């Protein structure tokens, strides 16, 4: 069971010590002689002030100030401790370069454990970047795929167990949950499998910063025993763009990981982080932890209204419950609605395009068959307006294109890092088979990299990539040219 509701001490969490300290500093109105060099002057930065307002310039002040984020027991550290408490972590760090930074930090940190990494093959590109930076060797495990809706899910404990058995030198594993579509893995079982292999479990929870802040949401990974967790607060957690968190769990690797994460954080963070971004993390944590049950409750009611409308109107289908039909999925983030538009006679991509250009709704995500509405924690979207817009979509094609499962990856011929730094050539596709890929290249849908740096390029993988690139709305991410007529390969000696 992954859902475990842990009520928070809301009175304690209803504070933002870092923001209070910043506010006192700003209100003291010192004449500014340092950075940021706009020095709060709307006259000096008239264009910027016109765009964001004078107040934003006033609030954007320098970091590393005694009594704010420097010195023992400072308010910034107090806010970090409140965040750790809110997510049930042993320690939390604020990130101002997204979960991308979090994955780089985690990659560098687990490299310090002295073994290899087992990674869900659909990890974010920042994990592959972390392999190049850290030199970690990695083996990849393919997640569940819904080939009918073209949706990627996550990893079963059995798949992780198999991969760890095949990689006896692994020191860490990384999984992605929730998925982009809101499918949640059995984190508790994954932790148990990882720990049985004496491996630390890293969870990329980029899409789940809000989990655990309402009894009807799945529990967050740190509370379920994960050793390191990366969460994009800016995604559904409500803070400003770019902000994220990395949590250290309480598990058996915490003592070894803590100094490694701390060291990696020093390498991967700016020495002049934006106080606006950091403040937004403090305030969004306060919002979730002190008000989440009430505000997320309202979001859930809006989302339920949308589901009810879709079901009552009957033209489209709420496909969210279908996610649970896959073995890796044990729970679903209810703040996302996966809508099967194909059932209503229009492809997901076409529906998204018309909703954006003609009906005033901008959705982030679609596949050939579905669109996904994503609702931020506390936001109450107008469910009826959206359901009405859906019904105004024209009938199109109901032709359904089954996504094929990607062929197996080619054999690994060198590490990601070796391939990353090797000299590369661009060759015509006919000459690429048997060569070593210099790039990570993924066909969407479903979005699993078919080529990784250092892997041999097989004919089956090239065919899969080219067929996807040629399909309507199919695309290939990371390709040297969109149609894959040219491929970047590692230069042969």
Ligand X SMILES: Cc1ncc(COP(=O)(O)O)c(C=O)c1O
C-alpha of 280 from chain center:
18
Task: Please state, in angstroms and rounded to a whole number, the distance separating the CA atoms of residues 356 and 90.
Answer: 43
Stretch touching ligand X by CB under 6 A, among 94-102, 334-342, 407-415, 449-457: 94-102
Token output for 128: 């592959």
Instruction: Considering the complex, state which of residue 329 and residue 457 has its C-beta at the smaller distance from ligand X.
Output: 329
Task: Please state, in angstroms and rounded to a whole number, the distance separating the CA atoms of residues 243 and 283.
Answer: 12
Instruction: Check residue 124 for interaction with ligand X (CB under 6 A).
Output: yes
C-alpha of 368 from chain center:
22
Among 59, 61, 155, 176, binds ligand X (CB under 6 A): 176
Stretch touching ligand X by CB under 6 A, among 96-104, 288-296, 332-340, 404-412: 96-104
**In the complex, what is the shortest distance from the CB of residue 487 to ligand X, in angstroms, rounded to a whole number?**
25
3-class secondary-structure state, position 76 = helix
**In the complex, what is the shortest distance from the CB of residue 153 to ligand X, in angstroms, rounded to a whole number?**
13
Instruction: Considering the complex, state which of residue 274 and residue 293 has its C-beta at the smaller distance from ligand X.
Output: 274
Residue 483: how many other CB atoms lie within 10 Å: 12
Binding to ligand X, residues 179-238 (CB under 6 A): 180, 204, 206, 232
**194 contact partners, CB below 8 Å, separation of at least 6:** 160, 164, 173, 200, 201, 227
CB distance 218 to 184 below 8 Å: yes
3-class secondary-structure state, position 84 = helix
By beta carbon distance, the residue nearest ligand X is 98
Residue 423: how many other CB atoms lie within 10 Å: 9
**In the complex, what is the shortest distance from the CB of residue 267 to ligand X, in angstroms, rounded to a whole number?**
17
Instruction: Considering the complex, state which of residue 87 and residue 316 has its C-beta at the smaller distance from ligand X.
Output: 87
Task: Please state, in angstroms and rounded to a whole number, the distance separating the CA atoms of residues 461 and 409.
Answer: 7
Stretch touching ligand X by CB under 6 A, among 45-53, 98-106, 128-136, 359-367: 98-106
Burial level of 200, CB count in 10 A (0-12/13-18/19+)? buried
Instruction: List phi, psi (to 5°) of 184.
Output: -110, 135
**In the complex, what is the shortest distance from the CB of residue 102 to ligand X, in angstroms, rounded to a whole number?**
7
Instruction: Considering the complex, state which of residue 100 and residue 287 has its C-beta at the smaller distance from ligand X.
Output: 100
Instruction: Considering the complex, state which of residue 204 and residue 368 has its C-beta at the smaller distance from ligand X.
Output: 204
Instruction: Considering the complex, state which of residue 331 and residue 456 has its C-beta at the smaller distance from ligand X.
Output: 331
Task: Please state, in angstroms and rounded to a whole number, the distance separating the CA atoms of residues 238 and 245.
Answer: 12
Instruction: Considering the complex, state which of residue 280 and residue 302 has its C-beta at the smaller distance from ligand X.
Output: 280
**In the complex, what is the shortest distance from the CB of residue 162 to ligand X, in angstroms, rounded to a whole number?**
22
Among 202, 244, 260, 288, binds ligand X (CB under 6 A): 244
Q: How many residues bind ligand X (CB under 6 A)?
A: 12
What is the DSSP track for 179-195?
-TT-EE--HHHHHHHHH
Instruction: Check residue 98 for interaction with ligand X (CB under 6 A).
Output: yes
**In the complex, what is the shortest distance from the CB of residue 234 to ligand X, in angstroms, rounded to a whole number?**
6
**In the complex, what is the shortest distance from the CB of residue 99 to ligand X, in angstroms, rounded to a whole number?**
3
**In the complex, what is the shortest distance from the CB of residue 122 to ligand X, in angstroms, rounded to a whole number?**
8
**In the complex, what is the shortest distance from the CB of residue 132 to ligand X, in angstroms, rounded to a whole number?**
16
Alpha-helix runs per DSSP H in 269-382: 275-313, 348-357
Stretch touching ligand X by CB under 6 A, among 92-100, 354-362, 460-468, 469-477: 92-100
Q: What is the dihedral of CA 80, 82, 88, 91, to 10 degrees?
A: 20
Instruction: Check residue 16 for interaction with ligand X (CB under 6 A).
Output: no
**H or E stretch covering 157:** helix 157-165
* Residue of 452, 449, 450, 383 whose CA lies nearest to 418: 452
Instruction: Considering the complex, state which of residue 102 and residue 115 has its C-beta at the smaller distance from ligand X.
Output: 102
Alpha-helix runs per DSSP H in 432-490: 459-470
Instruction: Considering the complex, state which of residue 137 and residue 204 has its C-beta at the smaller distance from ligand X.
Output: 204
Angle at CA of residue 75, ends 71 and 77, nearest 5°: 75
Instruction: Check residue 96 for interaction with ligand X (CB under 6 A).
Output: no
Among 96, 100, 287, 328, binds ligand X (CB under 6 A): 100
Stretch touching ligand X by CB under 6 A, among 81-89, 93-101, 134-142, 354-362: 93-101
- Interaction site with ligand X (CB under 6 A): 98-100, 103, 124, 126, 176, 180, 204, 206, 232, 244
């Amino acid at each position: 069971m992954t859902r475990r509701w842990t009520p928070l001490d809301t009175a304690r969490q209803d504070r933002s010590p870092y923001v209070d300290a910043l506010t006192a500093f700003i209100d003291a109105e010192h004449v500014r002689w340092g950075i940021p060099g706009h020095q709060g002057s709307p006259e000096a930065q008239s264009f910027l002030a016109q765009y964001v307002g004078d107040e934003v310039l006033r609030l954007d002040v320098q970091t590393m100030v005694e009594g704010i984020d420097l010195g023992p027991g400072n308010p910034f550290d107090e806010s970090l401790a409140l965040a750790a408490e809110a997510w049930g972590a042993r320690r939390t760090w604020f990130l101002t370069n997204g979960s991308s930074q979090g994955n780089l930090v985690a990659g560098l940190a687990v490299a310090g454990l002295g073994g290899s990494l087992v990674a869900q093959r659909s990890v974010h590109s920042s994990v592959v970047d972390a392999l190049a930076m850290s030199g970690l060797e990695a083996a990849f495990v393919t997640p569940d795929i819904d080939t009918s809706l073209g949706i990627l899910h996550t990893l079963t404990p059995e798949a992780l167990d198999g991969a760890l058995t095949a990689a006896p030198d692994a020191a860490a594993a990384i999984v992605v949950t929730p998925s982009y579509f809101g499918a949640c893995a059995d984190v508790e079982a994954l932790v148990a499998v990882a720990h049985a292999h004496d491996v630390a479990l890293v969870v990329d929870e980029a899409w789940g910063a809000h989990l655990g802040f309402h009894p009807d949401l799945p529990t967050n990974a740190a509370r379920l025993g994960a050793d390191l967790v990366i969460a994009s607060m800016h995604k559904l957690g409500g803070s400003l763009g770019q902000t994220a968190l990395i949590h250290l769990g309480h598990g058996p690797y915490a003592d070894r990981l803590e100094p490694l994460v701390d060291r990696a954080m020093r390498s991967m963070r700016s020495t002049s982080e934006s106080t606006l971004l950091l403040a937004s993390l403090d305030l969004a944590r306060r919002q979730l932890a002190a008000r989440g049950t009430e505000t997320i409750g309202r979001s859930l009611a809006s989302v339920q209204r949308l589901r009810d409308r879709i079901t009552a109107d009957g033209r489209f289908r709420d496909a969210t419950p279908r996610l649970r039909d896959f073995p890796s999925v044990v729970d679903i983030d209810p703040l996302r609605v996966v809508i099967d538009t194909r059932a209503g006679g229009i492809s997901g991509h076409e529906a998204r395009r018309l909703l954006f250009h003609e009906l005033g709704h901008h959705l982030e995500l679609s596949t050939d068959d579905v669109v996904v509405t994503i609702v931020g924690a506390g936001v109450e979207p107008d469910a009826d307006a959206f359901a009405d817009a859906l019904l105004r979509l024209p009938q199109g094609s109901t032709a359904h294109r089954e996504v094929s499962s990607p062929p197996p990856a080619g054999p690994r011929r060198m590490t990601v890092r070796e391939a990353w730094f090797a000299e590369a050539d661009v060759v015509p596709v006919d000459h690429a088979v048997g060569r070593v890929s210099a790039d990570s290249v993924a066909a969407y849908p479903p979005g699993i990299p078919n080529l990784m740096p250092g892997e041999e390029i097989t004919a089956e993988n090239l065919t899969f990539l080219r067929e996807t690139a040629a399909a309507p709305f199919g695309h290939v991410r990371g390709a040297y040219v969109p149609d894959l007529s040219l491929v970047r390969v590692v230069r042969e000696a």
